[in-house]
Structure 1
Amino acid sequence: MLSFWFGQNNDVTFSRRICIILLVGCCCLTFSFQGYAASYTDSLLNVISRAKGVEKFNAYNQLFDYYEANDHQSALQTVWQQMDFSRQSDNREWVGGAFANLGSLYLARGMADSAGYFFTRAYKQYKEAGNDDATMNQLCNISTACRLTFKFEEALAKLQKVLDYYTEQKDDFRIAQTLANMGTIYNEMGNNGKHDEYMRKALEIQYRLPVDRSRGISLINLCLSLSSQRKFEEAFGYGKEAVEVFRQLNDPFFTGACLVRAGSAAIGLNNDGDALKYAREAYSISEQTGNDHLRAEALRLLADYYMKHGDFEKAREVAFEAFSLADTSNKSDMIYHYDLLTTLSIQVGDKQNALKFYTAYVKLKNEAQEDEFRDKISEMEVKYESEKKELIISNLKNRQKLQWIGILTGTLIFLIVVLLLMLRQKNLKQRRLLAEQKVKQLEQEKLTIATQSVLDGETAERSRLARDLHDGLGGMLSAVKLNLFDVKNGVILEAGDVQKFNRVVSLLDESMQELRRVAHNMMPESLSRYGLKVALNDFCRSIPNLKFHFFGNEDRLESRLEVMIYRTIHELVNNALKHASADAINVQLVQQMDSVTLTVHDDGKGFDPAAAVTGTGLNNIRSRAGMFRGTVDIVSVPGKGTEVSVSFMI
């Protein structure tokens, strides 16, 4: 993990910046090779259609890797197909690989809880298969999911198991990597001491290995951590060493970034000569590589240097140049720029720009950290009051322009008061909105209870009618059939009468069969006895060209939810058969720990979803899903079939 930042007081991680650069590069490649991508996927699909065994599994992996970066829905479909193939092949390692792909997909979408669930399933499959290396990789993945959900202790426990394994294997590279990851978790917990301890342990091992990027990252992480603790001498030593590592690796971008961090530590150490030298070298590298962000970082380091030496005009000139290169979408970065320019404008007596930059600073600060706004206002007021007093004294002695300083002071105080009043008004508005939301929530709860009561009544009535039809009318028809045979006994019938009698008995049998079918559709007995999976299997087998797939946990659900899911699938299938003239229908049910998702896909006529939003059937399905915090997603194109996905929260 890379945990150091671009610039002081900046919460944008270095790794995030690298990811952005890589993402831009990927976008350019995608734009340039669209034709190649299409042929690439066609080639993989062709391999999947004809290949067997490991070749087919690897083709699924390659297709998933492509779709993961380009098309989430296709990636999800591919990995479930890979899961089906792996289970049919009865290969635990392949099943584990499919689960690991699912975890990776959900982690990329920011759904760390779901990713952790699938990584855990992959871990169990690999462990049962006896693949220790793959098992340790999944423990690392589970640790990442825990860290992203702030389960730091659990994340550390997972990494400790990984560390024990690689220690036993005497794999120094992996040991150092795991120690560095543990240090990163301690850093996120705010424990600088533990962070530094684990980074030093990792670094001690990395010194015994060939020089690589991980050594440089450990060095610069220690530089940043020690700088935040104001241990500038140690910080500068580690930063200087990191610079040399990346120079040796011929990596100009990382070299420039480390020069800026080491230069900042040098300023704190009062080593102004090295600070200036590093800032200029970083600026030179940024010009050679054309990296505007690195150039802005080097310029800001120069501004800090000039400001420390009292050359405020030169510092402001450099700060303005850095500001022109800033990433305006990065709020933390812009806050730092506005703060620096406000301070420098005050120092040189530029009241107009001081007010402009200060206003922009306060506005952006309020947007980025509203919960800490009051404390920040107090800190800024003290800071700028002190600076204004120094300006007043300086101007009284040198320029005798006390009236302008008074105007600037009054304006800043007035802005602070106005901003506080605006904040108070915003808080009052938020309280009103919360009250309105509470009322809407209560109304929604009342509507949900009423809807649930109606559905409970409908379910009970369906169950009663099914029992009455099966036990009452069904029994009567059976008695009629028996009595007919009793009447026939001992009676000699003509040939024509025998045919009529047999026809009556046949019609009676068909009526009894139809009666059982109607009773079963109203409330299948298998649903209450054996659960949703068995009931849906029975239902889908009764209809030609209808396939059913079930994935996930097979635990029984709440009876209301089971009935609701069964009725929803029943209605969607009937719609596909009745209105879409579908030749093939696929029903899929995915049951996870906290949700159930059903999907009904047909190859029928399709329709325009926007023109069907007022349909009674679809509104009924949306209403049912809403009772369980569910959602309905419809994808349909006229002439190309329909796919309806309904998600229920458990």
Structure 2
Amino acid sequence: MNPIRYSFFGTALTCLLLLLCIHTSMGQTKLLDSLQAAIDRYPQKDTVKVGLILKYVKAAVNENTTRLEPYLLEMIAISKAKNYRKGVRAGYGTAHLFYTDRGDLAKGMAYADSSFLLMEGDTSKENMIQKAYLHHNVASDYNKMRDYEMALYHYSEAAELLGKYQPQYIYRPYSGITEVYDHMNMREKVQEYEQKTIEAAERTGDSSAIAQRYLNRISRLINAKKLDKAEQYLKEVEPTVLKLDESLLLYQYYQNMGSVLYERKNFSKAYQYFQAAYEKALANDDMYLQVMVLYQLAESAIAGGKMPEAKQYLDTLLKKSVASDMKFGEQSAYKGLAAWHEKNGDHQTANEWLHKQLVLNDSIASQDVRDKLAMTEVRFKVRGKDNEIKMLQDEREIQRLSIRQKNTLNYILIGGAAALLIILLLGYRVYRNRQKLQQQRISELETEKQLTATEAVLKGEEQERTRLAKDLHDGLGGMLSGIKYSFQHMKGNLVMTPENLQAFERSMDMLDSSIKEMRRVAHNMMPEALVNYGLGAALNDFCNDISQSGAIQVSHQFIGLDKEKISDTTAITVFRIVQELLNNVLKHASAKTVMLQVAKNDNTLSVTVEDDGKGFDTATLDRSGGIGWSNIRNRVEFLRGTVDIQSVPNSGTSVLIEIPL
């Protein structure tokens, strides 16, 4: 768990949180045991017990312990029952950190949303500081999910609040912003915020903070292949890191040293440093860090000739990645296992692992979208539940005041019954009108939030498709082409039996098929024609590819698409809609021909898809659990468009979509 994130508890806990970052394993175990004994000895469920549990939670949240969760949930339950806001707030904040650091992002984000709701209306300095750190921690979660737009938003909110209430710690959100810009390859912004981060950290005089910022800079220098500069900074920061003896700093230091040595071809030394980093990640119970360094360990072992050790680390990487649902680690494991078998001369098994990597790459984009939608659904359910509780509390308060008012009026308004009745009727009417207005406003806000969430999901999906398409084409494509060249060169230098020659030729055919399939997948994920020439050209290429495949004959017509440019977001979304509609025809319609027409008329874009297939009952769409139709409907709603489907059994299907521009 990142030590920066513990600052959620506010200024009153700063000293304790800094102490938590120092690895004192034996003393920490004794402290946890004594705190647990104190909790168990206290029978009452009151604020005193909440205070005891809170001390235990602060001490245990950074430890590898399974005992924390039941105490944490008990603290939240008691605090809610006693209406103890401080306990509820601390419990929600710690639960967010606990679950997200263990890979349950949906559950962690639900607690974060509850914390934000609890903080509304409180303008005290302590609350504003805690809100700043909650924004920082949520930004870190979005960064892990590669939702860089939301990560930048929350880091910026954290920076604004810290700049006002706790400027000495503003280097923390600055560091996060630097990391986001680094992921987005915005070099000028990286340099700007990296310098701001280091300057802000140096102003605090905190050795740990300064060392952390320099280690982050070193990581970026290594990625940019500036090894001399990275090595210089490593020598400068080494005494501080070793003196502080903090596990997370040591992890990053060892990893950076291993990376530099690996680039220098000193594989034996690199292997030792990666081993040291892995041990620190195990001690800190951080699965994310373990998965990050395991591939580097295996890679250096292969390069250094330690093949049994490399295989063991790759198997561990695959097991941990699958168990924690970390797709990037699973990709690395497939890539490493392919390299391991290639090194051992088992080309067929190597190709099988490469094929698994290709299939995984193709599924990651849609899986990421499903995960984000699931997380969003959980978060909205929690938000709705908290609002429901709040409304019930307000209703009870209104009832109490109403009863008191009626009792008073019974004594002083005996002669004004008629007038009182009129006033009450008017008041009731005003009350009902206000309720209607409030409900209307709530509905509008919910719709706006759903559109915003859909837009963020679609943008994230397209960004990830673009990145994966480039990685497939430039990375995996180059590697497969290199393998093919090596095989062809090998063929000219070897004398083979007819049987071996035949097997060799079959392998070459399989490799050609893999290269073509990889290029087809990359092209479908983000067609170059869509980026370079616009929607019409991309749809024309897509339809021609389907017709040439022989699966079905596609006739297409595009009207008015070249008159003026359609926005990139609309063009990409319309392309995905058409892509999904034609794929549905191929999979389900059993049609021989399909007609596509895309026409732009004034401020409306219409999409028509008609086939001569077997048709279906359109009433089943609402009950369908298929992801394809759900994707089409979400994209059309995002563009504020309408869908009209007409289908007759054995006579085909017609789909008309109209989108306002």
Task: Give the TM-score, by structure 1 length.
Answer: 0.47
Task: Give the TM-score, by structure 2 length.
Answer: 0.46
Higher RCO by CA contacts (8 Å cutoff, separation 6 or greater): 2
- Larger gyration radius, structure 1 or structure 2: 1
